[in-house]
Amino acid sequence: MKELDMFVRNMTITGKSGKTIKQFSNYIEEFFEILKISTLEDLSALTLSDFDLYLEFLQNKGNGDSTRNTKLSGIKSFYKYLNDNEIIDKNVAERVKHSKTQKKVSVQPTKEEAKKILQSVKHKPKLFALYTLLMNSGLRIEEALSLRLGDIRDGCIYVINGKGGKDRLVLINSTAVETLEKYIATYRKSWDRDSLMERHNGNLKRVKQALEDSDLIFLGKNGLRMYNSNLNVSMDYTAKVCNISPDKVHPHAFRHYFANEFIRQGGNIQELKSQLGHESIATTQLYFKTDISAIQRTMSTMSF
């Protein structure tokens, strides 16, 4: 549908990230497929009942509340674009309500568990450097895996095109700096065109992509960009070796760990908001777990 192409161009022009554009496109195409939409007339004829069928289909397919809400946000953005530009007369999607979701309790390793995790991968320089960076910076995993050699300068990380397409400055401590410098200088493998051609059996498309990403700090074993999904096996193995819940050996758990350590060691929430790249303090506050032992200590000294 040409209207979807127009929406994609608009997202590109207005600075939406490549990830958001791809996700929204996929959500809308899935929406079209579920409701058998092929023309603008089909789209304009949809009612609230049709949206109920769409959301029910997603639920039956195993999509949870959060996933359905995310997909619905993409559909709503598409409808708003069409309505704002007078391509459709009414925006029925704005009347569709999101599902209520329960706030999840923050899951993160304890300080002792974090030490155990790092110790278990000390013989694996790339994992050790990546885990150390995540625990000492609060970076999102996508941001860490997108870092290039020139993005680290003077104890700072320059996050380019982070979540929402935004750039920001992230400070890191000496532990992270020294670990990264050692990994880059001693262990990080560099790839040239000849070695990539041999590795990929002359596949020019893969070689071209690898050359474009050759200055990424963290590369996969084939010289290609690493993705979060590439880490799943390694992280599951780390959790097994350490006898720690897999939920605690996860990039977002490391981000939560950093947030709590930052506040525990004297940082304030406004500084943390900037470090994590949150737009709202409310989002930052969700990163703090309830310390049951601290509550118990307080309650033991109280009288009523």
pLDDT tens per residue across span 82-103: 999 999 998 999 999 988 766 5
Pairing of strands 168-171, 156-159: antiparallel
pLDDT band at 118 (very low <50, low <70, confident <90, very high): very high
Which overall architecture, per CATH, does domain 111-290 show?
Answer: Orthogonal Bundle (1.10)
Classify domain 2-95 at the CATH superfamily level: Tyrosine recombinase, N-terminal domain (1.10.150.130)
pTM score, whole prediction: 0.66
User: For the segment 132-166, what is each residue's pLDDT rounded down to a tens digit?
Assistant: 999 999 999 999 999 999 999 888 888 877 776 67
CA dihedral (33, 37, 38, 44) in degrees, to 10, reads -150
Q: Hunting for tokens 């200590």 — which residue is that? A: 297
In angstroms, the CA 118 to CA 129 distance is 9
Task: Quote the pLDDT of residue 56.
Answer: 92
DSSP-based three-state secondary structure for 9: helix
- Cα 281 → chain centroid: 18
Q: Of 70, 80, 75, whose CA–CA distance to 50 is shortest?
A: 75
In angstroms, the CA 295 to CA 286 distance is 18
Q: Of 24, 29, 77, 90, whose CA–CA distance to 54 is shortest?
A: 29
- Burial level of 213, CB count in 10 A (0-12/13-18/19+)? middle
The DSSP element (H or E) to which 294 belongs, if any, is helix 292-300
Count of helix runs (H) and strand runs (E) in the chain: 16, 3
The DSSP element (H or E) to which 7 belongs, if any, is helix 2-13
* Domains of the chain, residue spans: 2-95, 111-290
Rg of the chain's alpha carbons, rounded to an integer?
23
Task: Quote the pLDDT of residue 290.
Answer: 46
Side chain identity, residue 128: F
DSSP state of 169: E
**Bridge-partner residues for 169, per DSSP?**
158
